[in-house]
Amino acid sequence: MSEKILIVDDDLDSLKLIGLMLQRHGYEVVAANSGGQAITKAANEHPSLVILDVMMPDMDGYEVCRRLRANVDTRSIPIIMFTAKTMVDDKVAGFEAGADDYLTKPTHPSELASRVKNVLSRSSNNRKQEPSRGAVIGLLGAKGGVGTTTLALNLAAAYQMKGEKPIIADFRLGSGSLGLMIGQAQSPGMANVLSKPVNEIRASLIEGELVTHQSGFRALLSSSRAKEMQLNFATDAAPAVIRSLRSMGSPVILDLGSGLNALNSRLQRDLDLLVLVVEANPVCLSLAREMLQEFDPTAMSGNRIHIVVVNRVQTTQQIPWHEIEHTLGHELRAIIAAAHEPLFQAVRTASPIVVSQPTAPISTQILKLADDLSVRVKQIAGSEVPS
């Protein structure tokens, strides 16, 4: 199959001319005539390359480039900036925005073909040389007490049972309960890592802070010590932790706590999937709806948000699933049944319920959720690699 190239230019004559040049060299061409259209088509069409004009009325090429680089679905697509500007500063601005190469108008067809071929070749070689990259799945509660930590813990255990190498990380500094749920002493591992300079945050540092559960999965924990809440750390520290965790295990499960705050809002761009955990009651759904409106649309595009309902009580008064989908504007990924006694026993034995009671209804629901999320992660990963 020929490689697909997205051309972005508000000048229709330029679109036609460049498109014709590329088609003559066997490339499939997709066109966009605005920055907003380019972002949408890049996410939906998964091109092998973007040729991006700088001067456009709605959004200049630099901003388009930055947004493509900020989105997990599009950040790996190579970009050639294409403009009539010839100043060195303009080219520097393009490279700083994330461009891979720069062409000035007008360009000779042979030069265009050569640049396109070279950029595609470099992109292919880089993909072959990249180390394995673990998927990152963040879990966020619409409010406190909906079972976010319990679900995150059991997903990690479920992936361990499936033969993968999950790592779970608790980002709830000063209110971490994950360690208590798996029988570990209060561990400030996450705080210890985040307090380091960003250039020191790497796999070797994190390795020394991980604890291993008896079932095999590893965890980077936060404690419930209030002083952790006062920890000041660099803006880029948490993303650096996630980058290192990607190289250490797969998938990486993040317990992001409840509600949008400065930290988990910043981490949206570092997630492959976000699981929003809700209860089937009007208050929780109202909070969830407000949160969904606040998510970064460039980071959370491509069907990467998944809604999971956790029923903490057995009642016939809960809101039906189709009303929940209508309220939130998203399909439900799973509904987890209430299971007070099994969950209580799981906490007493410091063993996730999918491990201690794998045939319980709640366990089969969580195991299926783990499978469904894995399928979605593979779809996203596949969309980033050109055919």
**44-76 pLDDT tens trace:** 888 999 999 988 888 898 999 988 887 767 888
Helical H runs in the chain?
A: 12-24, 35-45, 61-70, 88-97, 109-129, 148-161, 178-181, 189-194, 203-207, 237-248, 262-266, 282-294, 321-328, 340-348, 353-356, 361-383
What pLDDT, on a 0 to 100 scale, did the predictor assign at position 283?
Answer: 94
CATH homologous superfamily of domain 4-129? Response regulator (3.40.50.2300)
> Which residue spans of the chain are classified as CATH 3.40.50.2300?
4-129
Q: pTM of the full predicted structure? A: 0.67
* AA letter at 362: I
How do residues 105-140 score in pLDDT, each as one tens digit?
777 888 889 989 988 888 766 555 444 568 999 999
Q: Mean pLDDT, to the nearest integer, of 171-185? A: 91
Give 198-228 as a DSSP string: GGG-SHHHHHTT-EE-TTS-EEE-----GGG
Half-sphere exposure of 20 (CA within 13 A, CB side): 7
Asked if 276 and 291 touch (Cβ cutoff 8 Å), the reply is: yes
The DSSP output letter for 328 is: H
Structure-model confidence comparison of residues 139 and 97, the more confident one: 139
Long-range contacts formed by 225-230: CB under 8 A, 24+ apart: 225/174, 225/186, 225/188, 226/174, 227/174, 228/173, 228/174, 228/176, 228/188, 228/191, 229/173, 229/174, 229/175, 230/174
What pLDDT, on a 0 to 100 scale, did the predictor assign at position 89?
Answer: 67
Of 10-24, 118-132, 159-173, the least confident: 118-132
Q: Mean pLDDT, to the nearest integer, of 357-382? A: 87
Is the pLDDT assigned to residue 176 strictly greater than 50? yes
Asked if 298 and 323 touch (Cβ cutoff 8 Å), the reply is: no
Please report, rounded to a whole number, the percentage of residues in the chain having pLDDT higher than 70: 91
Sign of CA dihedral 67, 73, 75, 78: negative
Quick one: pLDDT band at residue 167, thresholds 50, 70, 90?
Answer: very high
Q: Mean pLDDT, to the nearest integer, of 259-278? A: 91
What pLDDT, on a 0 to 100 scale, did the predictor assign at position 156?
Answer: 96
Two tokens at 239? 């993303």
What pLDDT, on a 0 to 100 scale, did the predictor assign at position 386?
Answer: 38
Average predicted confidence (pLDDT) for the chain:
87
Q: Mean pLDDT, to the nearest integer, of 299-308? A: 82
What pLDDT, on a 0 to 100 scale, did the predictor assign at position 130?
Answer: 46
Is the pLDDT assigned to residue 295 strictly greater than 50? yes
> Does the bond joining 251 to the residue before it have cis omega, within 30 degrees of 0?
yes
Two tokens at 72? 């997990």
Distance between CA 246 and CA 252 in Å, rounded? 7
Asked if 321 and 309 touch (Cβ cutoff 8 Å), the reply is: yes
> Which residue spans of the chain are classified as CATH 3.40.50.300?
136-383
What pLDDT, on a 0 to 100 scale, did the predictor assign at position 387?
Answer: 34
Two tokens at 342? 């099994």
What pLDDT, on a 0 to 100 scale, did the predictor assign at position 126?
Answer: 59
Quick one: pLDDT band at residue 379, thresholds 50, 70, 90?
Answer: confident
Query: Max Cα separation, the chain?
Result: 73
Residue 50: exposure state from Cβ atoms within 10 A (0-12, 13-18, ≥19): buried
Is the pLDDT assigned to residue 142 strictly greater than 90? yes
Is the pLDDT assigned to residue 366 strictly greater than 90? yes
Asked if 181 and 156 touch (Cβ cutoff 8 Å), the reply is: no
136-383 belongs to which CATH class? alpha beta
Quick one: pLDDT band at residue 316, thresholds 50, 70, 90?
Answer: low
Distance between CA 18 and CA 81 in Å, rounded? 13
What pLDDT, on a 0 to 100 scale, did the predictor assign at position 102?
Answer: 85
Distance between CA 32 and CA 59 in Å, rounded? 13
Is the pLDDT assigned to residue 273 strictly greater than 70? yes
Residues pairing with 167 in the sheet:
218, 252
Quick one: pLDDT band at residue 185, thresholds 50, 70, 90?
Answer: confident
Two tokens at 230? 């006062």
Q: Mean pLDDT, to the nearest integer, of 284-297? A: 92
Distance between CA 188 and CA 57 in Å, rounded? 50
Distance between CA 193 and CA 204 in Å, rounded? 11
- Report the candidate in 306, 294, 304 with the shortest Cα–Cα distance to residue 332: 306
Please report, rounded to a whole number, the percentage of residues in the chain having pLDDT higher than 90: 51
Distance between CA 160 and CA 216 in Å, rounded? 7
> Does the bond joining 297 to the residue before it have cis omega, within 30 degrees of 0?
no
Structure-model confidence comparison of residues 371 and 339, the more confident one: 371
